[in-house]
Chain A
Amino acid sequence: MTPPRWRPSAAPSTMSMRLERQPDEVIDRDAPLTFTWNGRTFPAYAGDTIASALAACGVRVFSRSFKYHRPRGLLTASYLDPGCMVQVDDEPNVRGAHRLVEPGMRVSSQDTWPSLEVDVKAANQLVGRFLSAGFYYKTFMGPSRLWPAYEKVLERFAHGGEIPDLESYDRRRHHYDKRHAHPDVLVAGGGPAGMAAALAAAEAGATVLLVEEEHALGGHLRWGGDDVRSALAELRRQIEGTAAIEVLTDSVVLGRYDDNWVSVVQRGLPTVDERLVKARAKTLVVAAGLVERPYVFAGNDVPGVMLSTAVRRLIELHAVSPGRRAVVLRANPDGDAAVAALRRVGVEVVHVEDARRGGDIVRVRGRDRVRGVHLADGRRVACDLVVTATGWTAPVSLLTMAGVVPVYDARAARFRPDTTQLPDNILATGGVVGDGTLDELIAHGEATGRVAATRSAVVGRRWRAASPTAGGQVDSAAEPCEASPPALPVDPHPELFRARTHGIVDFSEDVSSSDLVTAVAEGYASAELAKRYTTATMGPVQGKLETVNVVAIVAEATGRSIQQTGTTTWRPPYAPVTLGALAGPEREPVRRSPLQAWHEQHGATPLVAGAWVRPDHYGDPAAEVRAVRDGVGLIDVTPIGKLELHGPDVPRLLNLVYVNRWSKLAIGRVRYGVMCAEDGVVLDDGVTARLAEHSYLMTTTSSGAATVWEWLESWLQTEHPEWQVHVTAVTTAYASINVAGPRSRELVRRVVPDVDLDPEAFPYMHVRTGSIAGVADCVLWRIGFTGELSYELHVPAGYGLHVWESLMAAGSDLGVRAFGVEAQRILRLEKGHLIVGQDTDGLTRAGSAGLDGLVKLDKEDFAGRPELVWQDRVADPPRLVALRTSDPTVVPVEGSQIVTDGSHIRGRITSSRMSPTLGRSVVLAQLDAPLADAGSKVTIAMVDGRRASAVVTEGLAQVDPEGERLHG
């Protein structure tokens, strides 16, 4: 059941809160536009955020809170604002106080649950329990029969809006991409200190990536008014004129990882939804500024209670009046500035409570809007706006990701990073580390930027020195790094976390201070435990607004100090990032043989097999099988892995990696071989030909080509570097064509004039080189996966199509026909040839793959030999067998189990098809040894629940078990 969608009451459009033109406003009054909010049309200007445009029209409620369903308005008027997560078209969870409004945008409030109706009707009993601390843990305890109901409830508790269903999701409209960046210096934060650091680093010769979360550089200077306007303009002008600085706005550093691998999410791009920038920065400058901290008191989440920075942003950037009658609780100069700004634009500041002189507020009255405030001295003041300026949080995430533990500074009433713990490649400047005048912040930023530049050069030299091929073995780890600049001053600030009443601590999770006190009383006395128990700091804001208040309230409840209580751990990502950006663009490269276009032109159904797209069939796989058994067929086997091996020690390598013997392979011969890993499990199989004294061509399975190449190299590089063997991967250098069927010799002869194809001159398991259809340097070998007389032709890839078409033309009177992977699978299954990875799995040792005869345990050494020796001694491992079903029409699905006593699993079907040649099913299975002798009757548990009976056949081959066709 979908709960009724909650709609805020539409605001009277006459109630405009838009101010006259402000000196620093970012809206473009010459670019008016309209958008819709919950279906109603609203005006806005370009440059407005969704929230500022709505606030300008008098909208005060943007969402309902997560648990209590309380109306929520603007709190920070920034990206972090927990009260205005909205849905924009098909995009949920949009930060309404950050996202810029666009013409025609359809914005709606997000569903939250429970809605008012459901509260009363459906979930009456449950809801009461939701409201307590730890409700996740208390409410969803047994009985287990209620779990389906709990799951429905929990689904509703997931944050967020609606994502479109797959049918209506338009992939073409959504693009995500990635970028790699290699700046010498990455500056996280584009306020005054960050801008100054970027400029100084560039001045010192470094390339700089400057990342700013907001839509413009400037940080708190943007709403700083007359005093800072010219300084901001000058910093911006200089950065614009510095080519070595690249600025990313509307972008956030998500995390810092080993060796300054820094991930950045870039938003607001015209053609890309989100981009993930992976930056390898030689040095990182963290200039994250400060985040204003909410104050905890009764009613602190009523729409109309705002932070001082929110008020200044609304007024200065968006020319929106945040209210008409204001009460301000201030404890710092930013509170003073908010009072001044309110008065300047004509908001009546009816009362100012100064926390520096002991002032406090007790509670806010009102539910949908602020109606008044109770002051500490007992007075009650009517107002529609309550502004708090009670302190700051240093967003230390990036620094803690580098191992820094923040230390509580009671004098400044905030956690501060101990920058002496920072590694050489990270520096910090600006508000995150200290206070100061604008000049002091800029000077510290400049000094930090200069050091960052010189250190980046040291880091670059260290990297180069550690690669001996590029400059010799110089141990420059000892090269000292320039010291960090002297620390910024830190201003005193009163410690203000909670008034004498309880209020909301985590606005996104709806966790109150009394919930935290309850959690402590129930034994969750550490900040980490109380956090998990109450879910405080675990919502979309992830602690940036509320962590310090959580710690302070837990400290208060436990009687410990804030430093003793400690802060919770900050983990990446710092800001939300879409899975789309992490996944990147949809790029799954597929390998295509030079013949693939021909296949598609001739009706092939494509099959993506591993890295390759291949023809599955050309419409009728059974007819393709019959063509091969009765006449001749062609299959494109280009994906077969091909490795050239050169050197005098190739036989030693082959002896080591194959389970069978290779010492005496004569020139012109081909041999089948199986490889095992060191645990005896079958790794791959294929044939290898000796073309000349020191020259071999190895083939592998299509999917095993890369594995085998790496396997050979691993032996050569680690165990036997003294062996003279060179391995070259040539899979894509050749187009490979298998010509199979009783008339294949006749066909091949027509295009290969120079090689004697008589069976005596070119017998089974031999190799020849020569020209095919005029193409020189081809390799021909006689092998037969299909069980028929066949020739595998390896042709220089560029001539592959020519040779294929020549064969098709030359064989038209023979009824030559292309066959695909499906027909090949049927043919090999009729012949009882196994496929590694299909008829074997990650536990199948050679003996269990029907390969006992091949394994030469008397060989001194080969990969996996000890395990095969031991397996040979233990009783009867499972075996690969062929089954004949009693009902010839039954084709048990691959993976079906073989059972005894009704349900005891004794084996499984590994391959099964209907054989067009035999008119019955052909089946391979792995089967416990006691059941695996010929004539043994077994029961197959079918997927549909039926049972089928089958009998183990003599040998694996069902067609031509004597091999006469193959050797013909």
Chain B
Amino acid sequence: MMLIPCPWCGHRDAAEFAYLGEPSPRPDPSTATPEQWRGYLYLRDNVAGPVTERWYHRMGCRRRLLVERDTTTNEVRPHRSLVEEES
């Protein structure tokens, strides 16, 4: 089980977190086409290699956070922006 670096709680077991996946920017709902909207809902790049991911520290500080994870090695680093609010 991976450790996830939470900027508020430190390195914690991945089991304490919910995986929210690659952040998918929300299209403008007033102009989005069905394709754009469903891309936002369902389509992810699923890259083999370093990806930016959102995790939610459900059993800890209850904050969403961004990390960079290499999906081939599970090496996880804090995201350069550290916390969502500053991204």
Contact = CB atoms under 8 A, between A and B. Distances in A.
The 6 closest A-B pairs by CB, nearest first: A467-B10, A466-B5, A463-B11, A261-B1, A258-B2, A721-B85
Contact of B3 (A259, A468, A719): A259
A541 B16 CA distance: 34
Interface stretch (A90-98, A657-665, A710-718): A710-718
A20 to B, nearest CB: 51
Nearest to B86: A721
A280 interface: yes
Given A258-B2, A721-B85, A866-B37, A467 B26 contact: no
Interface residues of A, number: 28
B41 A468 contact: no
Contacts of B37: 866-867
A464 interface: yes
Q: Which of B3, B40, B85 has the most CB of A within 10 A?
A: B3
Contact of A718 (B1, B11, B29, B54): B54
B78 A721 contact: no
Nearest to B10: A467
A469 interface: yes
Contact of A710 (B1, B2, B14, B56): B56
Contacts of B2: 258-259, 261
B44 interface: no
A470 interface: yes
8 contacts: A258-B1, A261-B2, A463-B3, A467-B5, A469-B10, A710-B56, A713-B62, A714-B64
Interface in A859-883: 860-861, 865-867, 870
Q: Which of A259, A679, A714, A860 has the most CB of B within 10 A?
A: A259
A258 B74 contact: yes
A169 interface: no
Contacts, number: 72
B16 to A, nearest CB: 12
A261 B13 contact: yes
Contacts of B32: 866
Contacts of A495: none
Contact of A717 (B10, B13, B14, B64): B64
A765 to B, nearest CB: 29
Nearest to A464: B10
A179 to B, nearest CB: 14
A336 interface: no
A866 B29 contact: yes
B84 A721 contact: yes
B11 A865 contact: no
Contact of B26 (A259, A463, A710, A719): A719
A258 B15 CA distance: 12
A466 B77 contact: yes
A678 interface: yes
B11 A466 contact: yes
Contacts of B26: 678, 719
A469 B77 CA distance: 15
Nearest to B65: A717
B13 A468 contact: no
Given A678-B41, A718-B54, A867-B37, A467 B13 contact: no
Contacts of A860: 30
A257 interface: yes
A314 B78 CA distance: 55
Contact of A259 (B1, B8, B58, B62): B1
A52 to B, nearest CB: 39
B8 A469 contact: yes
A710 B64 CA distance: 10
Given A257-B1, A718-B54, A470 B13 contact: no
B65 to A, nearest CB: 9
A279 to B, nearest CB: 11
B81 to A, nearest CB: 11
B7 A467 contact: yes
B51 interface: no
Interface in A613-636: none
Nearest to A261: B1
B41 A466 contact: no
A865 B29 contact: yes
Interface in A458-500: 463-464, 466-470, 473
Interface of A: 257-259, 261, 280, 463-464, 466-470, 473, 678-679, 710, 713-714, 717-719, 721, 860-861, 865-867, 870
A679 to B, nearest CB: 6
A264 to B, nearest CB: 14
B30 A467 contact: no
Contacts of A280: 3, 13
Q: Which of B14, B64, B85 has the most CB of A within 10 A?
A: B64
Contacts of A466: 5, 10-11, 77-78
Contacts of A468: 7, 78, 82
A866 B28 CA distance: 10
Contacts of B30: 860-861
Contact of A470 (B10, B34, B63, B74): B10
B43 to A, nearest CB: 13
B47 interface: no
Interface in B19-77: 23, 26, 29-30, 32, 34, 37, 40-41, 54, 56, 58, 62-64, 74, 77
A616 B8 CA distance: 42
Given A470-B10, A717-B64, 6 more contacts: A258-B74, A280-B3, A469-B10, A678-B40, A678-B41, A710-B56
Contacts of A261: 1-2, 13
Nearest to A463: B11
A24 to B, nearest CB: 40
B41 to A, nearest CB: 6
A237 to B, nearest CB: 36
Nearest to B37: A866
Contacts of A721: 84-85
Contacts of A718: 23, 54, 64, 84
Contacts of A865: 29
A717 B1 CA distance: 26
Given A468-B82, A469-B8, A679 B41 contact: yes
A455 to B, nearest CB: 16
Contacts of B62: 713
A799 B24 CA distance: 46
A717 B85 contact: yes
A402 B10 CA distance: 24
Contacts of B11: 463, 466-467
Contacts of B10: 463-464, 466-467, 469-470
A885 B77 CA distance: 61
A861 B37 CA distance: 14
Contacts of A717: 63-64, 84-85
A469 B41 CA distance: 33
B53 to A, nearest CB: 13
A861 B31 CA distance: 11
Contacts of A258: 1-3, 14, 74
Contacts of B40: 678
Nearest to B63: A717
A258 B4 CA distance: 11
A469 B7 contact: yes
B12 to A, nearest CB: 9
Nearest to B85: A721
A875 to B, nearest CB: 16
B87 to A, nearest CB: 9
Contacts of B1: 257-259, 261
A861 B3 CA distance: 37
Q: Which of A463, A710, A718, A860 has the most CB of B within 10 A?
A: A718
A939 B1 CA distance: 52
A473 B56 CA distance: 21
A706 to B, nearest CB: 9
Nearest to B62: A713
Contacts of B23: 718
Nearest to B64: A717
Contacts of B29: 861, 865-866
